[in-house]
A and B are shown apart, each in its own frame.
Chain A
Amino acid sequence: MSTPQPPTQPAAPAGEAAPGAAHPAFPYPAPGPAYPGYTSPIPVVRTHFGHALASEWTKIKSVRSTMWTLGVFVLLVVGVGLLTGLVVTSTESDLSGESALSLGFFGLLLGSMCVITLGVLTTASEYGTGMIRTTMVACPSRGRVLLAKALVFFLVAFAVTLLSTTVVAFLHVAMLKGNNAGDPTGNEWLKATLGISLYIALLGTLSLAVGSVVRHSAGAITLMIGAVLAPLVVAMFMFSSSLEDVRTVLFEYSIPNQLSVFYANSLGTSGPSGWDPLWIMTGLTAVVLGGAFVLLGRRDV
């Protein structure tokens, strides 16, 4: 530390700002709560959550990564769905009464990676580019920004997933009539379209929250893909019989297995069933989003 240097001149007393021959008297009185500052002709609007939503909606639709990730997502879900359907019909396999909807699983498992990527990018890319500072200056309420991001992303991801899964579901049912596929019940239809769409959109929102905590796109994407795949891989290598229980839990609660529950072709017999995965994912997303919310308020941007 250097020795402090005295200011050349003590701070000018209030009201005596910057006199001098070079600069004629400035047209303002002593600083105080009321001074004739500049008044803009633009009407003043009290900003609210709606403004943040509008801003985030403009953001998500004005970057190409949205088109890329969601485009590839639709391509994977519909394309892989169509392919599996074609394979089953061309080989004249017998589904022996199983619902045709279950074939949608493979495309969606692959497609989930795209939603994870977009979710992470929605928050983390702002840190990578520095945009976050501009965003937070425009909307100093940090929680509002995160919530607006999460809501806009959730709705976009949900809408796109619902559209693709519904298309695939109708395709499969129509294609596999001749392969002894069972008629899906109303609940099976709901799970394979609405249920899975909510789950995928929540998985993406979880990624968005992780992106906000990690603040690094590549890091957060790797973390999320690891979270999806690691439990299955780890479980595979648990040969010891003493770890049998852990292995089963890892299998059953792994995200791929949770996804398959929506198609009623779970890898195990115990573990989550019915609509359970949706509640699990809702809870998990809420907790991580809450953590991201608290951290965002505490950390420097």
Chain B
Amino acid sequence: MIELEGLTKRYGEKVAVNNLTFTVRPGIVTGFLGPNGAGKSTTMRMMLGLDRPTAGDVRIDGKHYDRLRDPLKYIGALLDAKAVHGGRTAFNHLLCLARSNGIPRRRVHEVLDTVGLSSVAGKKAKGFSLGMGQRLGIAGALLGDPRILMFDEPVNGLDPEGIHWIRTLMKTLAAQGRTVFVSSHLMSEMALTADHLVVIGQGRLLADTSMADFIAHNSRTYVRIRSPQRERLLDVLHEAGVTVVESGGATLEVDGTGAERIGELAARHRLVLHELSPQRASLEEAFMRLTAESVEYHAHSDASASPQRWGDGWKRG
């Protein structure tokens, strides 16, 4: 279990992590979600004692990280795939880590086998692809067979097979009773793996909730309708007290009313429907809405919306 209390990190004027308090519990996969630059990696570095918090505290089962006597057997962490000396072979890299915690040499072979890097154990890490580097980092995290695992953006650079593998791995690790804490900036990825969700934006806690609750609270459900008798349908719905959100063109969207009721209404009034489909707003949208105000690096979407401006500018200039 990892407990954060009022964790704060300031770099000069800039507050990277702002008063974070939450608990990461064992037995489940906890997703740590936030847009780029939200402070996820800084938080994880503080959990591992790499960065000193400006204020607040992180405790691992009640202890500070640097008080752990057998750190690799307590926590395994994948921080970034590049935390490796490229001139060292995969085997030697893991052996250096194993030696530092008195882990037997045969365990290095075991983890290389687990992540599927046995065939390149004798190859230098600098020749590794991003995905292979990620697997090597995961092997390092698994080396001590730890009770807590932390992965910072583990699916980065992995191919679909690798992504599937890491999802299964994380779920298996959690099912064994371990604490699994995984960061990502992709909501869709978290929706598939995480049981619990901690969302941050600009270093602040935005949500600390179970995945199921997050889905229930944040994804808008609505019914999409298309009909050639649009005007009559609107009247009928209005009379029945159903609120309609028009979404341009021939489609209508109805919030908070089941497709069944609308279908029955249409049948009773002999209206032709071309489409009647229950929809669920994607979690990605919910996540973007939640973090909308805290996104640090906005892309200017209006630039792409009106491309003709580019040409205009040229002509006038």
The chain A residues found within 8 Å of chain B, CB to CB, are: 1-5, 7-12, 14, 17-23, 26-28, 31, 33, 35-42, 44-47, 51-52, 54-55, 57-59, 62-65, 125-126, 129-141, 298, 300-301
Contact = CB atoms under 8 A, between A and B. Distances in A.
A31 to B, nearest CB: 6
B55 to A, nearest CB: 15
Contacts of A38: 26, 147, 176-178
Contact of B28 (A18, A55, A132, A138): A18
B262 interface: no
- Which of B21, B23, B62, B102 has the most chain A CB within a 10 Å cutoff? B102
A5 B208 contact: no
Contact of B79 (A14, A27, A37, A134): A134
Contacts of A137: 48-50, 71-72, 75, 77, 79
Interface residues of B, number: 76
Contact of A58 (B50, B99, B217, B218): B99
B103 A42 contact: yes
Given A12-B209, A27-B27, A140-B65, 9 more contacts: A11-B21, A40-B145, A40-B146, A40-B147, A47-B101, A47-B102, A65-B87, A132-B83, A137-B72
A7 B69 contact: no
Interface of B: 1, 21-23, 25-28, 45, 48-52, 61-62, 65-66, 68-73, 75, 77, 79-80, 82-89, 92, 95-97, 99-104, 107, 140, 144-147, 176-179, 195-196, 201-202, 204-214, 217-218, 290, 293-294
B211 A63 contact: no
Given A3-B293, A12-B209, A38-B26, A140 B66 contact: yes
Contact of A300 (B52, B196, B290): B52
30 contacts: A4-B204, A5-B290, A8-B206, A8-B290, A18-B211, A18-B212, A23-B211, A37-B1, A45-B70, A45-B101, A54-B100, A55-B97, A58-B92, A58-B96, A59-B88, A62-B88, A63-B85, A126-B85, A130-B80, A134-B83, A137-B49, A137-B71, A137-B72, A137-B79, A138-B100, A139-B71, A300-B45, A300-B50, A300-B52, A301-B51
